[in-house]
Amino acid sequence: MKIKKILISQPRPEIERSPYFEIARNFNIEVDFRPFIQVEGVPAKEFRKQRIDVLSYNAVIMTSKNAVDNYFRICNELRVIVPETMKYFCISEATAYYLQKYIQFRKRKIFFSNFSFADLVEIIKKKHMAEKFLLPCTDAPNDEYTDLLDKENIRYVKAPLYKAVYSNLTDITMSQYDMIVLFSSAGITSLLNNFPDFKQNHTLIAAFGEQTAKAVIHAGLRLHIHAPQPQAPSMAMALEQFLKGEQKGKQHQWEPVSLSIQNIEEMTPEKKMPPRRNVRSVAKPKEVPVAVIEKKVIEVKVAKPEKKVIEKPKPVAKKAVKPVVKKAKVAPKKVIKPVAKKKVVKPVPKKAAKPIKKKVKPAKAKKAKKPVAKKVVKSPKGKKKAKPAKRKR
């Protein structure tokens, strides 16, 4: 079956150097991008109801890029400054390098595994069991991560920071695509919710991650490509190797007809057993007959030890010891220096102050006011009225 059209359940990459674009050019394939789920962040008001103190945890487990974005978003909304001593445990190297968007990348505080949560737990067990971990996740339960952490008695707290909302895919005709690439179990649920009567027929399905592969099988679908693998750590490399094998007409190693969950677990890199070495056959040594030795009882006479006579020492006359008289130490006499006599300062006689005589000015004699004569004004009717006299100014 020749593949002509592929549907990838992710947003279209903004970078032109994306490996999916190179696959489309090299193999002359049409590649469409359509996210099956949309991520919505939990608002800070709703997050406060959980009563989780972000700064009380000195390590964070990052399982995806969405977890990274929403962790720093909620810290910004809560006005929390993330300390530089915070440790980050990422599920992949790509997620670890994505932290450069928010912090400075340092090897001493960032740890990552090869797309395996079990390997990440082993890294934690070695030197970091004393840390308190925060696990940013969706509101949907994910028992794959929590079961491993509980099994190893790792102290952690789940922090639901974002929600997965199913996209509307009714405008897509699924039968026109030869392959569908899925990256999460929520993507499979979204596919079946939008198309309840979906039939796989000849459509190939590629899944990234153990949880996604298990969800494909539980839904009753056939799985053809499973990543990550030791030879293909990313989905783009797995697609490229699958298409190269198809061009050469070879049956690819990732094209199982009936795949079970047990087979998927065997295909994962952390559970894949190393190849056995060629052991040369070594001839067994011939059995040598052992001679029978007769037991004989041999009597051994043990000589008794002679008694030694211990002579008592003669008493020694004690010499009279004269008592030692200790001479009393005489305390040295303190030399008292004569105190210098203070000079007597004679008081200086104060000069008597001369009394200041004030000159008394003679008082001025008040001038006697002259009596003012009243003028007589004649009235028109012959009556005389007295006018008031004008005062001198």
- Give the count of alpha carbons within 13 A of 375, CB side only: 8
Say whether 2 sits in a helix, a strand or coil. Answer: coil
- In this predicted model, what pLDDT tens digit does every residue of 172-207 receive, in sequence order? 999 999 999 999 888 999 999 999 999 999 999 999
Going across the sheet that includes 5-8, the strands are 30-33, 5-8, 179-182, 204-208, 225-227
**Nearest-CA neighbor of 148 among 176, 171, 178, 125?**
125
pLDDT confidence tier of residue 14, bands split at 50, 70 and 90? confident
pLDDT band at 15 (very low <50, low <70, confident <90, very high): confident
For the whole model, what pTM was predicted?
0.57
The residue with greater pLDDT, 168 or 357, is 168
Task: Determine the average pLDDT of the residues in 205-210.
Answer: 90
Mean pLDDT over each residue of the chain, to the nearest integer: 76
Helices (H), the chain: 19-27, 44-48, 65-77, 93-98, 117-127, 143-151, 185-194, 210-218, 235-247, 261-267
Radius of gyration in angstroms for the set of CA atoms belonging to the chain, rounded to a whole number: 54
Nearest-CA neighbor of 8 among 238, 311, 217? 238
Assigned token pair, 53: 């103190």
For residues 109 and 86, the answer to whether their CB atoms sit within 8 Å is yes
Give the model's pLDDT for residue 259.
Answer: 44
Instruction: Give the span between the Cα atoms of 226 and 46, in whole angstroms.
Output: 37
The architecture of the domain spanning 5-36+169-267 is 3-Layer(aba) Sandwich (3.40)
Bridge partners (DSSP) of residue 227 are: 208
**Structural domain spans, the chain:** 5-36+169-267, 40-166
> The CATH number of 40-166 is which of 3.90.420.10, 3.90.1150.10, 3.40.640.10, 3.40.50.10090?
3.40.50.10090
Full DSSP string of 154-198 = --EEEEEEEEEEE---TT--GGG-SEEEE-SHHHHHHHHHH-TT-
Question: Is residue 311 packed enough to be buried (19+ CB in 10 Å), middle (13-18) or exposed (0-12)?
Answer: exposed
Angle at 354 between CA 349 and CA 359, to 5 degrees: 170
Q: What is the pLDDT of residues 106-142, one digit of tens each?
A: 878 999 998 788 899 999 999 999 999 999 998 876 7
Q: What is the mean pLDDT of residues 84-90?
A: 94
- Band (218; pLDDT cuts 50, 70, 90): very high
Q: Does 5-36+169-267 match 40-166 in CATH topology?
A: yes
Percent of the chain with pLDDT over 70: 62
Give SS3 for 119.
Answer: helix
136/59 Cα distance (integer angstroms): 11
User: Which pLDDT value is given to residue 291?
Assistant: 37
Q: Is the predicted pLDDT of residue 314 greater than 80, yes or no?
A: no
Question: Does residue 30 sit in helix, strand or coil?
Answer: strand
- The answer to whether residue 220 scores a pLDDT higher than 50 is yes
